[in-house]
Structure 1
Amino acid sequence: MSAPRIGIMRVVSGLDEPLELAHQQLLTPLLKGAKLATRALPNQPEGIHDARTLALALPKIAELGEKWQAQLDFLLVSCAADPGIKALRQSLKIPVLGAGESCCKIARQYGQVIGVLGIEAQLPEVFNEQLSDCTLIYRQPDGVNCTHDIRTQKGQNAIIEAALACEQAGAKVIALACTGMATTDVASLLAPYTSLPVINPVLAAGELISQHFDL
């Protein structure tokens, strides 16, 4: 069997090359034998963090998916809000996976009380859909309103505080509802402060893709 071709769609534009390829680099050890490629949405410098940026992104997601599918066997939308996933699954002829759905599926393996950290005022809807039978404790770290805030010292301090608040509220696992927290490796950031498992949405997607192709 030829190596599966897996596309990684990034929803933030204007990153330098190491940051744009960060999710591909995370997935490479998990998906040995696959051919990975990354493309980013155009003119989306803030990524997706509210209704306005989501509305701007949706037609770009649909267009990129349509143009790219002939070169792929599988598409990962590397955003934990899973924007445009349902529409892509209806329109494309290849499997499509979202980082948010992936994060949920792995997080539920660790318990029914799940702390979730995100960058929006409200929990991404995919988490409510996928984890409707779980107790969700959602925290948006103070001052962390878009993916760029995650890389600041102030943002990282706020992420630590939010994770500890989830733990104090009874969470048994922390799910990261923003793939920017995968880029910055928030799991490693939190390791000295909590013993709870922290679910990286990009690595969660990699685990599910690996199972799909039996890699």
Structure 2
Amino acid sequence: MNLIRPLLLINPNTSLPSTVLMLHSARAALPPCYAVLTATATRGAAMITNEAELAIAEEEVLVMGKARATFVSAIVISAFGNPGLQALRQRVAVPVVGIGEAAMLEAGAGGRRFGIVTTTPALQGAIERVAQQLGLGPQLTCIRFTPGDPLVLAGDPRQQEERLAEAVQACIELGGAQAVIVGGGPLARAADSLSQRFELPVISPVAAAMRLVLARLGPTSEAAQNQQA
């Protein structure tokens, strides 16, 4: 008998198109025995660009996560600032992973120096706090932001990817990064594309979160994959 295991991907932004992008990235990183359910915030910002919006997102994450936790094997919070991560972990019985947390743990594995590129400079403090909380602050060599309004840039995916590519290159050449994270759930498509363009690892946080979920589910996930095969 095939065993399908459901995961919940929470988009703390209110943009449904962003949820679709994240869903594609998540599915591509998972074996076929996993189904990805999604929940999208109904209150807050279409794209989280500052800490006030991040705080609203935390409230939405708690509501969505608690309402659905009994129906899934794990929950992924798909915003780079990990809104509501610790609070939701205290309220549900399933593993909860944040994409910012997962990406930084993967990028910094083995003491590797890493950089972060993203489009939202007002979230620099939140990003640095995540690195410090994970004990990875000394390994974070640089954070590079694309120029211009992040919301305007989001409306031009091709230009967004090229500006992120320039930032990745700067992290490698000027920051000495050995791996680079493309920081943001709504940047999932660009992150997946950029991961194919550089010799050094360019990490998509959504994909990294799926890999971390598989690791935390442990032998149960392996058994499910064997049954599916």
Q: Does 2:11 correspond to 1:10?
A: yes
1:84-103 aligned at under 5 Å gives the runs: 84-103=84-103
Q: Does 2:187 correspond to 1:181?
A: yes
Q: Deviations over 1:88-137 (max 9, x none)?
A: 01111221111111101211237522111123321512123221341421
Q: Does 2:145 correspond to 1:145?
A: no
Question: Given that residues 58 and 83 in structure 1 are in contact (C-alpha distance below 8 angstroms), is that contact kept between their aligned partners in structure 2?
Answer: yes
Find the counterpart in structure 2 of residue 109 from structure 1: 109
Paired with 1:66 and 1:190, the residues of 2 have a C-alpha distance of 33
Find the counterpart in structure 1 of residue 21 from structure 2: 22
Question: Given that residues 15 and 46 in structure 2 are in contact (C-alpha distance below 8 angstroms), is that contact kept between their aligned partners in structure 1?
Answer: no
3-state SS, counterpart of residue 137 of structure 2: coil
What TM-score, normalized to structure 2? 0.81
CA apart distance, 1:187: 4.3
Instruction: Please identify which structure carries the higher helix content.
Output: 2
- The percentage of aligned residue pairs carrying the same residue is 22
Q: Deviations over 1:55-107 (max 9, x none)?
A: 22221111111111122221111112111101001111221111111101211
- The runs of 5 or more residues in structure 1 that have no matched partner are none
3-state SS, counterpart of residue 157 of structure 1: helix
Paired with 1:99 and 1:190, the residues of 2 have a C-alpha distance of 16
Paired with 2:109 and 2:5, the residues of 1 have a C-alpha distance of 27
Q: Does 2:73 correspond to 1:73?
A: yes
1:199-210 aligned at under 5 Å gives the runs: 199-210=203-214
Paired with 2:146 and 2:139, the residues of 1 have a C-alpha distance of 21
Q: Deviations over 1:158-212 (max 9, x none)?
A: 2122112111121111112212221x233424744x4221001111111122222
Paired with 1:116 and 1:25, the residues of 2 have a C-alpha distance of 22
CA apart distance, 1:2: 4.3
Paired with 1:63 and 1:139, the residues of 2 have a C-alpha distance of 32
Question: Given that residues 116 and 175 in structure 1 are in contact (C-alpha distance below 8 angstroms), is that contact kept between their aligned partners in structure 2?
Answer: yes
Number of aligned residue pairs: give it.
Answer: 210
**Corresponding letter in the other structure for 2:144:** R
Find the counterpart in structure 1 of residue 177 from structure 2: 171
**Corresponding letter in the other structure for 1:28:** R
**Corresponding letter in the other structure for 2:115:** G
Paired with 1:157 and 1:200, the residues of 2 have a C-alpha distance of 16
Question: Given that residues 171 and 177 in structure 2 are in contact (C-alpha distance below 8 angstroms), is that contact kept between their aligned partners in structure 1?
Answer: yes
3-state SS, counterpart of residue 7 of structure 1: strand
Select which of 160, 166, 189 maps to 1:161: 166
Find the counterpart in structure 1 of residue 56 from structure 2: 56
What TM-score, normalized to structure 1? 0.86
CA apart distance, 1:6: 0.8
- The runs of 5 or more residues in structure 2 that have no matched partner are none
Q: RMSD across aligned C-alpha pairs, in angstroms?
A: 2.3
CA apart distance, 1:41: 0.6
Paired with 2:110 and 2:179, the residues of 1 have a C-alpha distance of 6
Paired with 1:129 and 1:6, the residues of 2 have a C-alpha distance of 25
**Corresponding letter in the other structure for 1:168:** E
